[in-house]
Structure 1
């Protein structure tokens, strides 16, 4: 064999042939391990490539085969599922059952469930309005097969991985979910939704599907279906809806309560308008709306709501908060969107027990009536028609909301004053500043520790300094009162703005807002600026009750919770423990409590609370607050076990709820936190508190304990510090001798003379944030 032939043989696998034999039968010389067969010998000596180990298990052929096998199995399973699952009977009406709400003792509070729905033919809904829903939810609705495979696959993966719900369902799928299935986020339900949607798309026309969708969806305000929604939001029938109104109703589908203009926050309103614009812009892109007409359209503000019967008085407010907290838990547990959660709760056969104590609830309602609403005379004084009261009472040891006052009547005032966050908490924020100073072990700018006994300059309008530099903020004290050198304790008692404005900068406003968030304030989007020391942000009685409950609970976080238990058919939703982690030290929390006893015993609340004949020796801590221009007045106070926050708010119902001053209410020149709010608090608390108790405080500071050291003089805040400061204790004017310039002039009959002992006229510093950026409601 020639060399060329030998090479070709080796290339064909000749390495496996027998070695050439010599004439004696032995291998020819030069052939074998030492000759040309050496390469073959080496290959034979090595293990065969790819014949063992991991490579043998994972060849590309096996991977491809496995993949194809899984695909075939999946297709087979889907075919079986498609054959087995048929379109069930519609069950939307059957699912809508009464929700039963109970007090904490098990007695029935309310039973809701009369479904507000009227089915209308699609022909009665203007074509442009129909297009609004398609543009909002499913632009390919008229051409797709009824399912969004990518969206469904993404939803299945998210469900399996616990990431929650995602968008992507077609109108057909949403209709199937509403009418044939439910809102549960399970793999089984999603697969059924996919199969039924395919069959529905084959058997029903697109118009029938769209009609079913808009007639079964939930729009908020207790309205199911477009006819009920048109009446609830615009007081017209569906056939009279404009394109602008239809676009808003379509936008609502994403988050009905959040986008409801009557109760939406500033963020909610902004998001609602963004969604509204999105709908109309999509209609232009789909050539369903002329671009010129679209440009001229203005947002159609909805009408005031008309709540459903059965929720009169305080019932509607209690139910609204219970539903809201249950919805939030379903969103967390099941990954529902807000819109899905609302539809899963409203009228779905829930048995919900509240933490509301029946006796305490009755006592709170009675206190508001005795101290405020029974005395209002809207005919004699227009401003009496602008007063809104809100209150929340929390057991600080359990976190249970035991009583709540949302307004005069849910059917008359739909917006709950107990949970609204559009009014300033004013000086009730000052304890948060002190808590931050103590928690952070902050010092004044001359290096002295901030304690209850530290001395600050209480000069009204004094410019706040940041290490010698003016920050451009110098808030006046009430009636421009100068206090000179004053301790932190006395400054809290008299609510001296200039002291706490400087303290906020000494601590660092970023740290102040961080501690506020830990205590329970919603600080998202808030600016950490000196003006916030005056409580110029928005807050609700529910929020302030939670903050003070955390202080009362020695710094262990309290999240006020109204839902005790929630059951539906064979499932129970477990609500989170209202008592959380330690968020500030016990010493810091107890020191704030100790200081706040001084506000009651020797400060702005002493007439209404300290001297109240019902007190019977009960130890109390609390803080008054009166916002700029007298638009709100607060008292948030507590005993060792019970925290209650009471707020009065000025709102003009004839001007779409515009914030207005409370000057002249009940003939009083100015409404202060130490007046009506404190009187309501005192009557309620002292009637339900049980045995007289004392605070168990781990502190050596504040009015509740004897000071252990002399006043600590802070020199840096004062531009001209006194070498030997004298602690001044200016008298508290309990008779409003200096009427604010914005106080409307009153006729003698409207402004009766007040006795100095009248608690409704007790004075406290009014927070002035005139140098700060105004909040939307303060503009």
Structure 2
């Protein structure tokens, strides 16, 4: 219910049939003087023969097409009438139905009497409504996307701004066409069509034909007051505002207001935007004649006003010629005939009429990104995608008027762009090749809201963060990047689920099941795990921190690749690409398909995934195992054309515990050692967790790395960073010529992003939960080889000089 409908102004009442009960309130036959009020004052009542009549009217969506020939069946008849014509009998009405009908007719008669006496009611309410007639704002029909926060700062706009023309410049053929089809007596009435109101009151109660009976002035009054329901209280208030408009402005001014605000379909508001969209012309009377709208084109636009869009409820396709040419042309004929009747066109012009050619093209409301928007414009793709999933249709987007509050925090966003874009001289990316690209994504692990997102400098280019289609239709087929060792956090999550402890031991000399050696990023076997038990007996914690591959291959082999990838899916990864380049949807693929398309190398990151989805899953780990859907839309609202109220959809903040909290504390405890080990601790020793990752450019080119990652975060923000090539695969190098690894430039980007975001947000130095060690150190999947027992004298020497015995079991 709109804020104005509590007024119930001038609503008449009748006692229920068979009773003599009087309505509550001070009204009586003695006070039946047409007392009325607006807003919070007592409702107006009018006495009819000592009793008070109450009119009951059902609201009808604007543009429903009710009562139109092409809705009812081509001849204006109702469904019931048509059934009789076809020889079918009308169903007999019950006594109760007849009684209700008599009551409705009585109410209608009373209502008509009250409304026809509306002069007194209008006079009584005239000074209670302060009325202004603001010029329609140029951006009212645009879709406006905001950053999160109370300031309502605009992130982006989509659509074409309304083009307001001074009323003196609007071609009179446009005004005449609109009057001819919408309100033939516009230039003769005082803003209110009493006959039309009475007719609508009778039809609304006695039949299924719902009529608004609004003059052009009343239609604009409805816009001013933001009222849309067809009820008598609303109609009377609308009439009051219409009368005040008529007393304050002349007809040409009111017509100018109306023509600049009216919705003409395709997301085009105002006749100038519509003329440009449908015909590539102008309604400016001073425009060049060849670019000036004709009377026939003006009639097309005027004919659209009644219903510019299809109505899913009634099935009526509206009057956009592209969607419903027959109905549109029929209404166009009616418009021209009325113009002839009013002597606004000549008989010759009427006789020579020819339906104009309509331009085809995308709706104004769709809009498109422009390079000038910068990196933040990329976010709109994800907004579009999420809105569709929320049920906000493309038609609603095209129509415009959406107000979207994103989850993007302007401060965190600024930090993401500053860290990831080489356009910033202080970014670590500014020191490496211009052919390199980064993606920087920050997600609140406590609710899944994306706070910062950098996927490229231009919103019209490739989305390196999410590989989202340019119109927000979904992830492109050829997207994603190999996650490298950052995928190991899901292998560990699967292992922890199965009871594998970080104390388990693994043999790095074993070959894969196909007989090939397991690569450890080119490290000398003699130097692998020297501090963790040696290459044959390496503990899982050391292997995780040092990022050795062999334990992760064997965990995946022993548990099954479907369980490891299942952990990634549970955390938030949806798509992975097989070696053949096929995109696999993990949410629908059965275990057999996963086993068929992925090998145990998945356990250490061979296969491509989407950085945004990886970031969402990282947030699940950082959030101690609670998974939230990563999202960009915090709230979306739009004006409901039936009620006049703004409807709102918020975000879903329901989390799901997908991993045990104790197991995640164990994993986070190990990950907390990585920032210091790579030299990327955060400012002031802030508690953080991380995992680096690198994937080789080619299977046998261990010194040429093509994708580098650093992921992790702090309790308030999960941060994921990828660095790779913009176009063709290249071997990534640091500024000094060394091969790039995840612990180098990507880690520096990650470090800068978190430091700057935490400082800008003034976050406290929160702590991760205390580590709880879980699992079985003797898990059957472990394959480490215990060294032979030491001799007593050797044990004594090793205790005195530990560096001489690197392969001794750890204490």
Q: Compute the TM-score of the two structures, normalised by the length of structure 2.
A: 0.50
**RMSD between superposed Cα atoms in Å:** 4.5
Could you say which residue in structure 2 is the equivalent of 1:764?
A: none
User: What is the alpha-carbon distance in structure 1 between the residues aligned to residue 433 and residue 451 of structure 2?
Assistant: 28
Closer/same/farther in 2, CA of residues 639 and 342 from structure 1, 3 Å limit: same
Query: Which residue, 609, 629, 632 being the options, matches 1:559?
Result: 629
Query: Contact 2:439/2:722 (CA < 8 Å) preserved in 1?
Result: yes
Could you say which residue in structure 2 is the equivalent of 1:541?
A: 611
**Does 1:491 find its partner at 2:619?**
no
- SS in structure 2 at match of 1:568: strand
**Does 1:199 find its partner at 2:327?**
yes
User: Which sections of structure 2, spanning at least 5 residues, go unmatched?
Assistant: 1-66, 79-136, 163-277, 279-299, 334-353, 469-478, 529-534, 576-583, 586-593, 640-644, 698-704, 805-811
Could you say which residue in structure 2 is the equivalent of 1:477?
A: 520
Could you say which residue in structure 1 is the equivalent of 2:732?
A: 663
Query: Which residue, 343, 347, 361 being the options, matches 1:215?
Result: 361
Instruction: Work out the number of aligned pairs and report it.
Output: 459
Closer/same/farther in 2, CA of residues 373 and 501 from structure 1, 3 Å limit: farther
Query: Contact 2:141/2:161 (CA < 8 Å) preserved in 1?
Result: no
- SS in structure 2 at match of 1:326: helix
Query: Contact 1:386/1:662 (CA < 8 Å) preserved in 2?
Result: no
Aligned-pair CA distance for 1:390: 0.8
Could you say which residue in structure 2 is the equivalent of 1:717?
A: 783
Query: Contact 1:183/1:344 (CA < 8 Å) preserved in 2?
Result: no
Query: Contact 1:95/1:348 (CA < 8 Å) preserved in 2?
Result: no
The within-5 A match list for 1:8-27 is: none
User: What is the alpha-carbon distance in structure 2 between the residues aligned to residue 715 and residue 424 of structure 1?
Assistant: 26
Give a deviation string over 1:284-332, Cα, whole Å, max 9, x none.
Answer: xxxxxxxxxxxxxxxxxxxxxxx52552x2221122222222222226x
The within-5 A match list for 1:270-669 is: 307-308=369-370, 310-311=372-373, 313-330=374-391, 341-342=393-394, 344-345=396-397, 348-368=400-420, 374=426, 384-410=433-459, 413-419=461-467, 421-441=479-499, 450-459=500-509, 462-464=510-512, 470-471=513-514, 474-482=517-525, 483=528, 484=535, 485-523=537-575, 524-525=584-585, 527-569=597-639, 570-602=645-677, 606-607=678-679, 609-610=680-681, 614=683, 616-629=684-697, 630-651=705-726, 657-658=727-728, 660-669=729-738
- SS in structure 2 at match of 1:398: coil
Aligned-pair CA distance for 1:219: 12
The within-5 A match list for 1:694-773 is: 694-697=767-770, 699-701=772-774, 712=778, 717=783, 722-723=787-788
Give a deviation string over 1:107-159, Cα, whole Å, max 9, x none.
Answer: 32334245499xxxxxxxxxxxxxxxxxxxxxxxxxxxxxxxxxxxxxxxxxx
User: What is the alpha-carbon distance in structure 1 between the residues aligned to residue 606 and residue 311 of structure 2?
Assistant: 41
User: What is the alpha-carbon distance in structure 2 between the residues aligned to residue 95 and residue 687 of structure 1?
Assistant: 34
Query: Contact 1:112/1:310 (CA < 8 Å) preserved in 2?
Result: no
User: What is the alpha-carbon distance in structure 1 between the residues aligned to residue 730 and residue 518 of structure 2?
Assistant: 20
Closer/same/farther in 2, CA of residues 197 and 477 from structure 1, 3 Å limit: same
Aligned-pair CA distance for 1:646: 0.8
Give a deviation string over 1:6-27, Cα, whole Å, max 9, x none.
Answer: xxxxxxxxxxxxxxxxxxxxxx
Closer/same/farther in 2, CA of residues 218 and 489 from structure 1, 3 Å limit: farther
Aligned-pair CA distance for 1:568: 1.6
Aligned-pair CA distance for 1:463: 2.0
Query: Which residue, 147, 160, 166 being the options, matches 1:103?
Result: 147
Query: Contact 1:622/1:636 (CA < 8 Å) preserved in 2?
Result: yes
Give a deviation string over 1:77-107, Cα, whole Å, max 9, x none.
Answer: 953686399xxxxxxx999932222221133
User: What is the alpha-carbon distance in structure 1 between the residues aligned to residue 312 and residue 399 of structure 2?
Assistant: 21
Deviates more, 1:348-357 or 1:369-378: 369-378
Aligned-pair CA distance for 1:722: 4.3
Aligned-pair CA distance for 1:513: 1.5
- SS in structure 1 at match of 2:379: helix
Aligned-pair CA distance for 1:204: 9.4
User: What is the alpha-carbon distance in structure 2 between the residues aligned to residue 361 and residue 77 of structure 1?
Assistant: 52
Q: Compute the TM-score of the two structures, normalised by the length of structure 1.
A: 0.52
Closer/same/farther in 2, CA of residues 601 and 344 from structure 1, 3 Å limit: same
Closer/same/farther in 2, CA of residues 84 and 723 from structure 1, 3 Å limit: farther
Could you say which residue in structure 2 is the equivalent of 1:79?
A: 72
Aligned-pair CA distance for 1:199: 2.4
Aligned-pair CA distance for 1:626: 0.9
